[in-house]
Amino acid sequence: MKDNNVYKMGPWTHNIIHTFSGDGRYSDFIKPFNDIGLYVEIDNKGKSMVIEMPREDRKPISFKNLLKCKEFKNTKYKLPVIMGVNVFGNPIVKDLDKMPHLFVGGSCGTGKTMLLKNIYESLSAKLSNDECKFVIIDTKAFDFVKYSKKKNMLMPVITDIEEIMTFFDKIAEIIDCRINILRNKHSKESKNMPKIIIMIDEIIDLLFKYKKETEKFVQLIGLHGRSVGVYLIMATQRGNHITSTIYANTPTKICFKVRSKTDSRVNLGEEGAELLLSPGDMLYSEAGRIPERIHVALPEKHI
């Protein structure tokens, strides 16, 4: 019998690329693999699938190497972010400007904070301190506290939830002010305004304490953020507590490994993330597109 499959080894998985022939719904082909715990990716046109089997000997993906890749070096993206590599080991760079707001879910210890750090490093490597400023809310007061000293921070890292209202007001004021500037210039573009990247790790702490205010803030950013250069990235390990307002205003979703299909649906909008490896393995879904599996890179000091 002729074997029409193509075998390609990736950094974390053995991959079998199978081209569909004949009729039949591809979901019928996928389910048996999912049932034995294997993730299967479908190409955009639904012509082929990749069956991905975990390797025993996973090598960490080096962030430093990816900084040198042509996809990042030659990128035309406004806000290029190194996400990691696909299952074949090819670099994946995404544009935060297209997301333009990002929700990151996944169980504890699966790689969410590391990804936020990579996003910070990618943007800092490409954009000067005048072009791009960061605001980081680290409610655990652990992972990002040292970032306060960095030159491209708009303000010191916020660790105290009681400071959050002042922060919301300040960002709302900036957005207002920028909207007025654009209106007076009759312009739709926010050229010459430094981009502001807001990273919240973990959003649920704010939501529990200040639900209404947090929702109002996320809505404001969802409505006007991109046009005035303000972007929001938020992470949570408790996707089941995220309100629909928060979810709807962050069009791009990422989900790291979760415990169940239900958890995957809650975070990503579909099943699959329960089949990922941990830590560092994620599904990326830009504005409702088919999720892409991406292995996230690690900085040198962690390898």
Ligand X SMILES: Nc1ncnc2c1ncn2[C@@H]1O[C@H](COP(=O)(O)OP(=O)(O)O)[C@@H](O)[C@H]1O
Contacts with ligand X, residue ranges (CB under 6 A): 60, 106, 108-114, 279-280, 296, 298, 302
CB of 153 to Mg ion, least distance (A): 19
Q: Indicate the residue whose CB is closest to ligand X.
A: 280
**Distance separating alpha carbons of residues 78 and 101, to the nearest angstrom:** 14
CB of 108 to ligand X, least distance (A): 5
**Distance separating alpha carbons of residues 94 and 260, to the nearest angstrom:** 27
CB-based contacts of 207, cutoff 8 Å, min separation 6: 214, 215, 241, 242, 243, 246
Do residues 56 and 265 make contact, with C-beta atoms less than 8 angstroms apart? Answer: no
| Binding-site partner at residue 111 among ligand X, Mg ion, none, CB < 5 to 8 Å by type | ligand X
- Considering beta carbons, is residue 43 or 292 the nearer one to ligand X? 292
Neighbour count for residue 216 (Cβ, 10 Å)? 14
| Binding-site partner at residue 60 among ligand X, Mg ion, none, CB < 5 to 8 Å by type | ligand X
Range 107-146, binding Mg ion (CB under 5 A): 112-113
CB of 194 to ligand X, least distance (A): 27
| Binding-site partner at residue 302 among Mg ion, ligand X, none, CB < 5 to 8 Å by type | ligand X
**Distance separating alpha carbons of residues 134 and 196, to the nearest angstrom:** 6
- Considering beta carbons, is residue 168 or 256 the nearer one to ligand X? 256
CB of 229 to ligand X, least distance (A): 27
In SS3 terms, 26-64 reads as HHHHHHHHHHCCCEEEECCCCCEEEEEEECCCCCCCEHH
- Considering beta carbons, is residue 94 or 112 the nearer one to Mg ion? 112
Answer yes or no whether residue 236 interacts with Mg ion by CB under 5 A. Answer: no
CB of 109 to ligand X, least distance (A): 4
- Considering beta carbons, is residue 113 or 267 the nearer one to Mg ion? 113
Neighbour count for residue 28 (Cβ, 10 Å)? 8
- Considering beta carbons, is residue 75 or 113 the nearer one to ligand X? 113
Q: Tokens for 53? A: 């089997």
User: How many residues interact with Mg ion (rule CB under 5 A)?
Assistant: 2
- Considering beta carbons, is residue 182 or 285 the nearer one to ligand X? 285
Phi then psi dihedrals of residue 283, to 5 deg: -110, 135
Neighbour count for residue 209 (Cβ, 10 Å)? 13
CB of 112 to Mg ion, least distance (A): 5
CA 121: distance to chain centroid? 14
Which residues sit at the interface with Mg ion, rule CB under 5 A? 112-113
